[in-house]
A and B are shown apart, each in its own frame.
Chain A
């Protein structure tokens, strides 16, 4: 079971509390399920490459978690603990406590799913810790600002738009702003990020509005950049515009229609170099 989960992104890695299905669903049933519930990662993957989407979500081919994803998840879990503590206990974690949380998150993931580190685990772990230290040094000292939500799953029924249910997890909400954490190897540029993350940020905006009955004041991308000297990049985006919302809904329509047609052709391009399904794709015909 653990190895099967390798092919699924962390936010969607799910261990169902329901009784396991005795009979595995057919491909048609799986596709029907994917048409009913959309997340930004599902939508983003479909838009990036429909064959990749097929391999990941329909065929559910298992792939080992990459070191970068492992590190990102551990950093993410640690920030979650940090936010929960400042919210619920009204205090900031000390650096030692933060390091303990990070080590715990690392260990938990290792138990769940080992990664082939090729001897680099300690170096990667140090990188992760330095990212967190950087974040704390440059951002993390505002105890007065209280979270409104931390790692909260939200769903929005868009049936009245003729669209499926939209789901997602908001990393952090505070001061009516939705914050999303990222780890990256390069410093993001504002305009590029606004475009490349638009599906995700608009999804979060729709979810925020649905759940709170009011518009968000903005969306922030907090990127922890893995440079020799780690840095924090915060990109502040304005609230989703009406045209962005329309655009998201059109993309969702294309997603549903594409799945209906079983349109799972590849999209060869530069992104293929880092795709975990590169070999599968080369064999596709």
Chain B
């Protein structure tokens, strides 16, 4: 009677930006008798592990912290073949590191609720302002992420409104721009009082 031995080796690795990827290999071999099982297991384990390790080093597309944010604003998110599609098809699972849910609160904060990794904890206006400063001043997004970690030990997306405001101040200073409070200013009125 033939003995069938099935072996499977899987590995999941965490990646930056709350991503991960996963690779699994399965084989089936036929053995002539049960005495071969132990040796065959050892051989297969080594073989499969080496194979998986060799392939899983190729991480392919990895989204950065701000991946998809611009697309949301431009309505590109739903298009087939866009960055999301490519990511999902080519690189295994992409999980959200955020454990909270996401909803738009009455106070204007965007909060987690649906597991969407593109959700930010600050307001939409702050998110847009951060992205604009970064884009217009060619600031490296990793630098922004590092600054956020340095100040709050949190990723940019997880900053609350006060923390995001502080980050904006730091980014504006870095870019040599006046403080973000300029938007509160009154336009100059040149007339004299009676």
Contact = CB atoms under 8 A, between A and B. Distances in A.
A106 interface: no
A57 B108 contact: no
B178 A17 contact: yes
Contacts of A152: 162, 165-166, 169
Interface in B49-88: none
Contact of A14 (B160, B169, B178): B178
Interface string A37-52: 1010000000000000
A49 to B, nearest CB: 14
B189 A60 contact: yes
A212 B160 contact: yes
B188 A88 contact: no
A61 B191 CA distance: 9
A59 B193 contact: yes
Contacts of B166: 149-150, 152
Main SS class of interface, A:
mixed
Interface size class for chain A?
A: 35 or more
Interface string B163-180: 101100100000001111
Nearest to A11: B181
A55 B189 CA distance: 11
A16 B182 contact: yes
A42 to B, nearest CB: 9
A79 to B, nearest CB: 16
A14 B184 contact: yes
Given A60-B188, A60-B189, A88-B150, A14 B161 contact: no
A257 interface: no
B187 interface: yes
Given A59-B193, A150-B166, A213 B187 contact: no
Interface in A208-248: 208, 210-213
Contacts of A88: 150-151
Contact of B178 (A15, A33, A61, A157): A15
Interface string A81-125: 000000110000000000000000000000000000000000000
Contact of A157 (B108, B150, B190): B108
A64 interface: no
A213 B159 CA distance: 12
Contacts of A4: 188
A50 to B, nearest CB: 13
Given A16-B185, A24-B189, A59-B189, A153 B150 contact: no
A59 B191 contact: yes
Nearest to A14: B185
B192 to A, nearest CB: 7
A37 B185 CA distance: 9
Contacts of A255: none
A30 B186 contact: yes
A155 interface: yes
5 contacts: A14-B178, A14-B181, A25-B187, A149-B163, A153-B184
